[in-house]
Structure 1
Amino acid sequence: MANAYLDHHLALLAHLRGILVALGEAEQVPEENHALFVERFDDLMNELPRDPESSLYLGQDLISQVFHRYPQIAHLVPRDLLWFFGGDCLHFMPDEEIELFQRLDERRYEAEQNDEPFDWNQEKRLLALPQDGSKH
């Protein structure tokens, strides 16, 4: 797994962790269970750089749990994380969004094969532009 790609998703996980911590500090959730969940989240963030492939299942589980345990912040979960972890996380994405991320992943793979630089966020913005050529 390419470092820039992994680093991008680690940054998104850190952002989501900050939201989870703030939720606990605002006393919006039961503290005991929440602290254990954040601890598991930390485990994921520590393990992911060491063993990305094995960490995917834990990531799928934790991201899916965010939607079930904390529905009030579901809209704040970065969509990239749903695609990155895949599996059950894809149930939280509409088909159009899955298609966008598939195209994005194909472009990333092609750039890697050609030893070309790839900016995930820039490419995502380009793919999200309207395809009909109209300028508004």
Structure 2
Amino acid sequence: MANPYLDHHLALLAHLRSILVALREAEQVPEENHALFVERFDELMSELPRDPEGSQYLGQDLISQVFHRYPQIAHLVPRDLLWFFGGDCLHFMPDEEIDMFQRLDERRYEAEENGKPFDWNQEKQLLALPTEGNKH
């Protein structure tokens, strides 16, 4: 069965992987350690569809390592991946962002319970809109 939520995050991982490969091609990182890191990243991408829950710790570890190993691309890490893997990854998110993702997950679970479709990106955009009280 297709899982749009998982597919969305796999696509984000593929995007992040392409950024990691570009770092190597631009010779901005030492090759030996970087190649091993990308291998582990590939392992995560192949294991995640088979065992989403079992892959959580590897995902947390790798995403956290991106921030420590490659601070020059930390701003390019999709925020959705931080939420998706949780754990230590949440340390890289401000409280307001965590609150937004919690609300987003609540909406997703509600839609799933009611058998309704859920567009993660559309809902995220709606939640990110400023409310009446936040206007300047």
TM-score by length of 2: 0.96
Change (3 A) 1:70 1:4: same
Match of 2:37 in 1: 37
Q: How many residues of Structure 1 are paired with residues of Structure 2 in the alignment?
A: 136
Give, in whole Å, the separation in 1 of the partners of 2:130 and 2:79. 19
- Gap runs ≥5 in structure 2: none
Describe the superposition over 1:52-74 as per-residue Cα deviations: whole angstroms up to 9, x where unpaired. Answer: 00000000000000000000000
Find the aligned partners of 1:8 and 1:132 in 2 and give their Cα distance: 30
User: Could you tell me the percent identity over the aligned residues?
Assistant: 88
In the aligned structure 2, how far is the partner of 1:56 from the partner of 1:88? 11
RMSD: 1.6
Q: CA offset at residue 133 of structure 1? A: 6.9
Runs (4 or more) in structure 1 with deviation over 4 Å come to 133-136
Instruction: Show the 5 A alignment for 1:40-79.
Output: 40-79=40-79
Uncovered stretches (5+) of structure 1, i.e. residues with no partner:
none
Q: Which TM-score applies when normalising by structure 1?
A: 0.96
How far has the Cα of 1:134 moved from its partner?
8.0
What does residue 26 of structure 1 align with?
A: 26
What is the CA–CA distance in structure 1 between the aligned matches of 2:114 and 2:81, rounded to whole Å? 25
Counterparts of residues 51-130 of structure 1 (less than 5 Å): 51-130=51-130
SS in 2 for 1:54: coil
